[in-house]
Chain A
Amino acid sequence: MVGPNGAGKTTTLRIIATLLKPTKGKVEVFGKDVVDQAEEVRRLISYLPEDAGAYPYMTGIEYLKFIASLYGVNEDYVSDGAELSGLGDALQERIKTYSKGMKRRLQVARTLMIRPKLAILDEPTSGIDVLYSLQLRNEIKKKSKEWGITILLSSHNMLEIEFLCDRVAFVHDGKIVNVGTPLELIRKTNASNLEEAFMRSISN
């Protein structure tokens, strides 16, 4: 999902993540209603909010173990998460000592390691530098394919979207104004790149 600030991207993601109830309409995740079957939906998803935090006095590895225990998955998943985070020995340190980039990597690892059917990532690389962003994108792409995870993400970064997404929705004022693969969207709007396609879609 791509859209300007206030377009409704985060609200939509929060509805799908069962945090908010839709004021109108119906939302289903793999056939499960997010309002009536919220607990079942939560077993299928893993949500990464834009400004997600972690418990400052836990170590990185304790945090991954804590999350794994709540999903009822075994230590192998924690090892995968530890590897995915790329934090190495820093996982033994308390989270309060982590930089913003390290925290984000831990959060992405936490979100994907339990292999949800649907991972909801709200601006997964926001606020982190180019190098970490690149590494994270590569990991997201690799693991989603390897573990069969559907990723639903919102982003402002067109490079990220072109790299990660098979299907893109342009959102404006709470509505999807255009949807398709990145190439389809560029063709549909006679644009030279995705950014231009987005601008043309929302100006119409």
Chain B
Amino acid sequence: MKSSLRSLISKETREMLRDPRIFLLMIVAPIIIFVLLGTVMGYATEKTVQATTFGLKIAIINNDEGEFSRYFIQFLRSFSNGTVNIYPVGTDPGALFQSKIYDAVLVIPSNFTESLAHGKTAVVNTFYFVKDLSISSTVKFSSLNSAVNAFQQQLLAGLLSSAYPNLNVTSLFHIISLNESAILGGREVSFSSINSLLSGAIALIVAPLMIFSIASSLAASSMGIEKEEKTLEILLTLPIKRSYIMFSKVFGAFILSLAGMIGMGIGFYYYISSVLSGVGGRVELVKTLYILSPSALAEAAIGLLLSLLFILGASILISSLASNVREAQAMTSYTWLPILIPYILLMYIDLSQLNSASVLAISLIPASTPLIVLKSYFQGWVAPVIVSFAANILYFGVVLYLGAKWFEGERILSTRVSRKNLLYKLRK
């Protein structure tokens, strides 16, 4: 590497790292946000689970007092860890809610036993006392529904046992068992791993998008500050290739983006771990990643880095039209929307439903290589991966070429695109 290019890259990384706006907002903040979110979400999940475990406080007004209503009450007492209190016939449910003790009040109708004995539906009026709109409330209320379903199953089992004494009723409820496994990329893998991968699929889109967003902001700041501090004019008169100014900004921001990616990865891992630990689970990262072949993972990683380089190049080029950091960041945030929208769509499109030409056309979406690699791996395709890599190498090359030409020209100093300028021109 030429020493002047090395000096420029070193200058870029040093300036960005020392700039508290960049360092805090783009490198430290995402880590802190994930860690805070993870801590809060972990705590909330734990509390929700606790709320469910502690169970409901139920008041039952038993207007029946028959055999089946007694079974039902007994069952609820054994099923729930909470409190089940019985109130006499004719108690006003409204009065029970006034006490604010109970989560739910069940009114067992007077024909409960008779209806069940004759195989008819018995309607139990149930009133929930909504204390707040939290997730734990919803979970609590759904646990009552589960209890009723379990009671019905037990009731059915009892009826079947008495009708068919020789039948193993318990096995009847699990008479068909699915032994699940999945074929992925020609390999048989456990279905739980696939579930784990699918549930983490959102990360496949969120992580690259966050990385791209931070990287484009970094690049925009790096270019914007050059204009804001009026240092570009001097740089352009120095005995260096002007294209080096562009290259150094791309690679300087690339190095910092990698640091940001590692930080964000740690933060994201902490976030997922915290949420899962709240429900007694844990992140099986290695197991989940193992279901992808090493070559697919390597291709996805290279695709991500290539896409990142393209995003950085485009952001530098676009932000060179701004006159300060704020304008530069605003411009890059608007202009990468054309990438963001197809990217999100791509996540939800099942490529196997499309014809070959459409798949190849989708592979041309800028910065989409990591997603194309993963989706193609599931299908065992090669062509879309090659097309996506070729297209994104081309895009990056074009951006670098245009950038180099733009920096060689004289208009880089004078051209300024801002909302004010555009509105003025439109009015004219």
Residues of the A chain whose Cβ atoms lie less than 8 Å from the Cβ of B379: none
Residue among A20, A52, A55, A71 with most chain B CB within 10 A: A55
Q: Indicate if the CB atoms of B3 and A19 lie closer than 8 Å.
A: no
A62 vs B239: C-alpha distance when bound (angstroms)? 18
Q: Tally A-B pairs: CB < 8 A.
A: 66
Say which residue of B18, B231, B238, B240 sits within 8 Å of A54 (CB atoms). Answer: B231
Report A42 CB to chain B, min CB distance, Å.
5
Say which residue of A45, A56, A62 sits within 8 Å of B229 (CB atoms). Answer: A56
By size class, the interface of chain B is 20 to 34
Residues of the A chain whose Cβ atoms lie less than 8 Å from the Cβ of B239: 39, 42-43, 70-72
Residues of the A chain whose Cβ atoms lie less than 8 Å from the Cβ of B231: 52-55
Kindly report which residue of chain B lies nearest to residue A46, judged by CB atoms: B237
A18 vs B241: C-alpha distance when bound (angstroms)? 13
Q: Indicate if the CB atoms of B237 and A69 lie closer than 8 Å.
A: no
Binds A, one of B7-15, B44-52, B85-93, B202-210: B7-15
B19 at the interface (CB under 8 A from A): yes
Say which residue of A19, A39, A42, A55 sits within 8 Å of B233 (CB atoms). Answer: A19
B236 at the interface (CB under 8 A from A): yes
Kindly report which residue of chain B lies nearest to residue A21, judged by CB atoms: B410
Query: Of residues 228 to 261 in B, which have CB atoms within 8 Å of A's CB atoms?
Result: 229-231, 233-234, 236-241
A71 vs B14: C-alpha distance when bound (angstroms)? 20
Residues of the A chain whose Cβ atoms lie less than 8 Å from the Cβ of B4: 69-70, 72
Residues of the A chain whose Cβ atoms lie less than 8 Å from the Cβ of B8: 70
Say which residue of A49, A52, A57, A72 sits within 8 Å of B19 (CB atoms). Answer: A57
Residues of the B chain whose Cβ atoms lie less than 8 Å from the Cβ of A18: 236-237
Say which residue of A45, A47, A69 sits within 8 Å of B3 (CB atoms). Answer: A69
A55 vs B413: C-alpha distance when bound (angstroms)? 17
A67 at the interface (CB under 8 A from B): yes
Query: Of residues 127 to 172 in B, which have CB atoms within 8 Å of A's CB atoms?
Result: none
Residues of the A chain whose Cβ atoms lie less than 8 Å from the Cβ of B15: 55, 57-58
A129 at the interface (CB under 8 A from B): no
By size class, the interface of chain A is 20 to 34
Kindly report which residue of chain A lies nearest to residue B235, judged by CB atoms: A70
18 A/B residue pairs, CB under 8 Å, sorted by A: A17-B237, A19-B236, A19-B410, A20-B410, A49-B234, A52-B233, A53-B229, A53-B231, A54-B231, A55-B231, A57-B15, A58-B11, A58-B15, A66-B7, A66-B11, A70-B7, A71-B239, A72-B4
Q: Indicate if the CB atoms of A51 and B234 lie closer than 8 Å.
A: no
Residues of the B chain whose Cβ atoms lie less than 8 Å from the Cβ of A54: 229, 231
Residues of the B chain whose Cβ atoms lie less than 8 Å from the Cβ of A58: 11, 14-15
Residues of the A chain whose Cβ atoms lie less than 8 Å from the Cβ of B7: 66, 69-70
A94 vs B18: C-alpha distance when bound (angstroms)? 10
Residues of the B chain whose Cβ atoms lie less than 8 Å from the Cβ of A55: 11, 15, 229, 231
A62 vs B18: C-alpha distance when bound (angstroms)? 13
Residues of the A chain whose Cβ atoms lie less than 8 Å from the Cβ of B18: 57, 94
Q: A18-B237, A39-B239, A70-B7 are in contact. List 15 more A-B contacts (CB 8 A).
A: A19-B236, A19-B410, A20-B410, A42-B237, A47-B233, A49-B233, A52-B230, A55-B15, A55-B229, A57-B14, A57-B15, A57-B18, A58-B15, A66-B7, A70-B240
Kindly report which residue of chain B lies nearest to residue A57, judged by CB atoms: B18
Residues of the B chain whose Cβ atoms lie less than 8 Å from the Cβ of A45: 237
Query: Of residues 377 to 399 in B, which have CB atoms within 8 Å of A's CB atoms?
Result: none
Residues of the A chain whose Cβ atoms lie less than 8 Å from the Cβ of B240: 70
A186 vs B14: C-alpha distance when bound (angstroms)? 52
Report B328 CB to chain A, min CB distance, Å.
16
Residues of the B chain whose Cβ atoms lie less than 8 Å from the Cβ of A72: 3-4, 239
